[in-house]
Chains A and B, each alone.
Chain A
């Protein structure tokens, strides 16, 4: 699951997957701005067939947090 998240982040932000880890965030990835974050949410929701809660959308600004949020839906 972590790999699938990393792959989506890499594709949407157009960043090599090797440069990404759980600590990656808008502070470490230049192309991760608020607009690309919206694209990222759309792609993640499609990939995992989930819908984040509205407050999650604005909170999951780090790969590790995204993985946690996705886990919450896929574990249930």
Chain B
């Protein structure tokens, strides 16, 4: 896990990479454009990829050839297979005047240099994008702890620091306008370890390599906060132990007034930690509890303790009992309909952490060290496991959505028949063609959905936009509401037309709406759309992954016929003859709204 990487030595990381059988892992193609020597970062990048289950191939551009390779073209570095382009445009090389000779510049000269750097960034970003759709990670400019103008620099808005900040803002804006392009704030990595640990003057002078080993590790950490969500490997759910994790002490023994939690030391450490958990909740992370307690004791703390910052409403699912935690985590994953590999589990007990590591290696299990509650907030804030490339409106409401899901489950236990249960939900399904507003969420769905996903093709916003404007493609989405609230966009379908056939390139649904017959309505509308476009056959594919076993029989169950069964790779192809009527839509939806 990334959280442990700080403990690995540079030699040991290389040793592990030498020993590992990387050939069985899927490839991750990283290209580095740079105007400094940055090759020693390679083991860190490859190691992060390895921990994520990928075999990274890192290709370095020539020294100080960023512009030539981006604007001039370089098929070796920038091509259709490129997953990610890392740009290191270091100011000392880019503009020695701005970096080291700032006080000698008059305002006109400074402005001319700024313009030159801006034009450079613009041309480079445009040039990279013309060659690859891969993620662009542009490493921003670092500010200096000792600006050339000394203390005067902070008094004026034309100083060196202000100019560097404005250049960073400019580059950030360029990247924001590009799809699949992000700004990596190098100053964050610099602040975390301090300038004294960040730069190595010896190798800067010997070989134009400015960064220390610690800096390279920190930069690679930062880069993989972007690359993990690119590959759908970010964590979605935080599972928490209670006693000595959320508060100090044991509620069953110390009682409500005896546990450690409050505004002053030592309880303030737990309050701070809880505040950080609530931050994650508002970023769309699902919060769950898994603890060995009497359940009423835990809820008493949540309801009655005046200093609880984490509230009952933030919690989407719980397993509070005396069973083993591996079994409980499995139960939580099934309740929430998420994969175990999207969970992070925190506990202060070494026994529980080791058990989970052994039984469920796919869960990120993190030990909260005893007697170090003051570090808990920082541990959680720095783990970098929950980062997503964007935080959408959907994400901000996700906690409420999962809460609603829990309410639905309790209604389900009261319902005597499924049909009656579905009717009681008063579901409204909206199926529409993708537009500018829905494209980001649709791309996010293709990147994140693993279980109900027939082909698991990952697309960027730029990909989706190109399908939307392409005459041979249709992209549409499904939005679901019910009496407990809206789920937002939860389904995506991409049809590709080839002569009189419609190929279902992508068909996926978010796991939180499964088991409500939504897929039948969605498929039936997709088939009608294909027929309306003049197609005679619809082709469905199933590409098996470790996660999508539940949809292996989806097409045959819905009237499709398999073509050439017994394909060795498990890749299955099905046909649906559009002369036939698509299966009927479930009658229990309150309404199906569609512009198809």
CA–CA, A30 and B201, complex, Å: 28
Is the C-beta of A29 less than 8 angstroms from some C-beta in chain B? no
CA–CA, A47 and B209, complex, Å: 20
Partner of A38, one of B11, B15, B207: B207
Docked-complex contact A38 and B18, CB < 8 angstroms: no
Docked-complex contact B11 and A58, CB < 8 angstroms: no
B17 to A, closest residue via Cβ: A14
Docked-complex contact B10 and A57, CB < 8 angstroms: no
Write out the residue numbers on chain B whose beta carbons fall within 8 Å of the beta carbon of A42. Answer: 10, 40, 212-213
Is the C-beta of A12 less than 8 angstroms from some C-beta in chain B? yes
Docked-complex contact B10 and A38, CB < 8 angstroms: no
Docked-complex contact B206 and A57, CB < 8 angstroms: yes
Q: List 29 A-B contacts (CB under 8 A).
A: A7-B11, A8-B11, A11-B11, A11-B12, A11-B15, A12-B10, A12-B11, A12-B14, A14-B14, A14-B18, A35-B37, A38-B40, A38-B207, A38-B209, A39-B10, A39-B40, A39-B43, A42-B10, A42-B213, A43-B10, A43-B11, A46-B9, A46-B10, A46-B11, A46-B213, A47-B9, A52-B202, A54-B205, A54-B206
Is the C-beta of B297 less than 8 angstroms from some C-beta in chain A? no
CA–CA, A39 and B213, complex, Å: 9
Q: On chain B, which size bracket covers the interface?
A: 20 to 34
Is the C-beta of A27 less than 8 angstroms from some C-beta in chain B? no
Docked-complex contact A34 and B11, CB < 8 angstroms: no
Closest chain-B Cβ to A47's Cβ sits at a distance in Å of 6
Tell me the residues in window 20-67 of chain A with beta carbons closer than 8 Å to chain B beta carbons. Answer: 34-35, 38-39, 41-43, 45-47, 52, 54, 57-58
CA–CA, A58 and B37, complex, Å: 16
Chief secondary structure at chain A's binding surface? helix
Partner of B213, one of A35, A45, A58: A45
Is the C-beta of B203 less than 8 angstroms from some C-beta in chain A? yes
CA–CA, A14 and B42, complex, Å: 14
Closest chain-B Cβ to A46's Cβ sits at a distance in Å of 5
CA–CA, A39 and B211, complex, Å: 12
Write out the residue numbers on chain A whose beta carbons fall within 8 Å of the beta carbon of B43. Answer: 39
- We find that the number of chain A residues with CB closer than 8 angstroms to chain B is 19
B41 to A, closest residue via Cβ: A39
Is the C-beta of B39 less than 8 angstroms from some C-beta in chain A? yes
Tell me the residues in window 14-32 of chain B with beta carbons closer than 8 Å to chain A beta carbons. Answer: 14-15, 18
Docked-complex contact B14 and A57, CB < 8 angstroms: no
Closest chain-B Cβ to A43's Cβ sits at a distance in Å of 4
Partner of A47, one of B11, B39, B205: B11
CA–CA, A52 and B10, complex, Å: 17
CA–CA, A14 and B316, complex, Å: 48
CA–CA, A37 and B472, complex, Å: 53
CA–CA, A54 and B483, complex, Å: 70
Closest chain-A Cβ to B577's Cβ sits at a distance in Å of 57
Tell me the residues in window 218-234 of chain B with beta carbons closer than 8 Å to chain A beta carbons. Answer: none
Write out the residue numbers on chain B whose beta carbons fall within 8 Å of the beta carbon of A41. Answer: 203
A56 to B, closest residue via Cβ: B202
Give me the 3 closest cross-chain CB pairs, A-B, nearest first: A43-B11, A54-B202, A11-B15
Write out the residue numbers on chain A whose beta carbons fall within 8 Å of the beta carbon of B40. Answer: 35, 38-39, 42
Docked-complex contact A57 and B11, CB < 8 angstroms: no
Indicate with 1 or 0, residue by residue over B179-222, a CB within 8 angstroms of chain A CB atoms: 00000000000000000000001110111010011000000000
Docked-complex contact B14 and A38, CB < 8 angstroms: no
CA–CA, A67 and B9, complex, Å: 19
CA–CA, A42 and B40, complex, Å: 9
B204 to A, closest residue via Cβ: A54
Closest chain-B Cβ to A35's Cβ sits at a distance in Å of 5
Docked-complex contact A43 and B9, CB < 8 angstroms: yes
Closest chain-A Cβ to B46's Cβ sits at a distance in Å of 12
CA–CA, A7 and B212, complex, Å: 22
Q: A46-B9, A57-B203 are in contact. Are A11 and B39 (CB under 8 A)?
A: no
Write out the residue numbers on chain B whose beta carbons fall within 8 Å of the beta carbon of A34. Answer: 207
Docked-complex contact B18 and A11, CB < 8 angstroms: yes
Write out the residue numbers on chain A whose beta carbons fall within 8 Å of the beta carbon of B201. Answer: 54
B60 to A, closest residue via Cβ: A35
Closest chain-A Cβ to B214's Cβ sits at a distance in Å of 9
Q: Which of A11, A47, A54 has the most CB of B within 10 A?
A: A11
CA–CA, A52 and B14, complex, Å: 21
CA–CA, A43 and B203, complex, Å: 14
